[in-house]
């Protein structure tokens, strides 16, 4: 599929560098995504300058450029902000362009690459949730699939202030709402809470995530821990720097949560080291978002190819 990246900031530029490698998200075969252009609004942005040096079309005309070239574009990765995506999502759909939304706008169905990768590949618009959502929802889901019910899940993502561009900063409220919703809709929790912290420490810290999951009475603790370790490996298939910071533990309470009192809770500490495609490895929040977006875009491309092959047959 011919694709365009909208947004020449940190996220869009990191995704461009990944697609420039020409390999799929697992780093093995060739990607079925052909990058046509990087589009932004700042003609002096570093992202557009890099795109030109790499030989890609680089425009500062924003969404208008994409709509003017709709016959050359099959898919747009929107790495701008929630309000920009909301303003133009219908225009992309009307032009027949599939949108992979990397903002917290949440117009289309939410997709977490390690959990429901192929569930919405035929949708005209899919939402990538947030970097924190891509990092922590898989672990909430890992706990949920090992228990009869999951009354509560909570996540805290801490990222370096240097890796948070203006779009991320403008969307803090949307981040917490969309991430919290994903913990329920995809992770399987009955109630949930999400927090993001931008840490200004120097040198910059690695992306770190904490997950608390309330466990009901009678839970098989060994099965929960096994599921967590299995999920770590599943995410590492496309984000090698994703890892448990230490051994996950199950603590004995009782604990009072918005989902009620629970006798135990799982505590999971995660770290995400970036691949260093654009910003240095501390920017794991970029890496997990863009690697997941590439994987989802590739799943959409494979689905589209299968649909076309079926129609021709």
Question: What pLDDT was estimated at residue 313?
Answer: 75
Any bridge partners for residue 126, and if so which? Answer: 100
**254 near 263, Cβ under 8 Å?**
yes
**Looking at residues 253-258, what average pLDDT do you find?**
92
Choose the catalytic residue: 6, 84, 131, 207.
131
The share of the chain scoring above pLDDT 70, in percent, equals 100
**Is the preceding omega at residue 203 within 30 degrees of 0, hence cis?**
yes
Our answer to whether residue 131 is catalytic in this structure is yes
This prediction's pTM: 0.95
Longest CA–CA span in the chain (Å) reads 60
Question: What pLDDT was estimated at residue 17?
Answer: 97
Question: What pLDDT was estimated at residue 167?
Answer: 77
pLDDT over threshold 90, residue 171: no
Question: Could you tell me the domains of the chain?
Answer: 2-129+289-312 (3.40.50.720), 131-282 (3.30.360.10)
Average pLDDT of the chain?
Answer: 96
**Looking at residues 219-242, what average pLDDT do you find?**
97
pLDDT over threshold 90, residue 165: no
H or E element in which residue 20 lies: helix 10-20
């Amino acid at each position: 599929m011919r694709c365009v990246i909208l947004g020449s900031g940190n996220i869009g530029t990191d995704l461009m560098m990944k697609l420039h490698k020409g390999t799929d998200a697992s780093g093995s075969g060739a990607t079925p995504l052909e990058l046509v252009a990087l589009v932004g609004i700042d003609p002096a942005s570093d992202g557009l300058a890099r795109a030109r040096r790499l030989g890609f079309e680089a425009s500062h005309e924003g969404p208008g450029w994409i709509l003017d070239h709709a016959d050359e574009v099959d898919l747009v990765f929107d790495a701008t902000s929630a309000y920009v995506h909301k303003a133009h999502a219908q225009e992309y759909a009307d032009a027949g362009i599939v949108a992979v939304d990397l903002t917290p706008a949440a117009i289309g169905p939410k997709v977490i690459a390690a959990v429901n990768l192929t569930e919405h590949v035929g949708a005209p618009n899919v939402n990538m949730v947030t970097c924190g959502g891509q990092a922590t929802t898989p672990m909430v889901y890992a706990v949920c699939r090992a228990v009869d019910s999951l009354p509560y899940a909570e996540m805290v993502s801490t990222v370096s202030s240097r890796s948070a561009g203006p779009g991320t900063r403008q969307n803090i409220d949307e981040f917490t709402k969309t991430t919290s919703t994903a913990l329920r809709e995809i992770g399987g929790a009955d109630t949930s809470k999400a927090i993001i912290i931008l840490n200004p420490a120097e040198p910059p810290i690695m992306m770190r995530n904490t997950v608390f999951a309330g466990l009901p009475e009678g839970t098989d603790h060994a099965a929960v821990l096994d599921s967590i370790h299995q999920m770590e490996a599943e995410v590492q298939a496309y984000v090698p720097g994703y890892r448990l910071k230490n051994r996950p533990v199950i603590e004995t309470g009782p604990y009072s949560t918005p989902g009620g009192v629970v006798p135990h809770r799982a505590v999971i500490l995660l770290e995400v080291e970036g691949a260093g495609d654009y910003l240095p490895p501390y920017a794991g929040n970029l890496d997990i978002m863009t690697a997941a977006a590439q994987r989802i875009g590739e799943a959409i491309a494979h689905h589209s190819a299968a649909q076309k092959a079926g129609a021709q047959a």
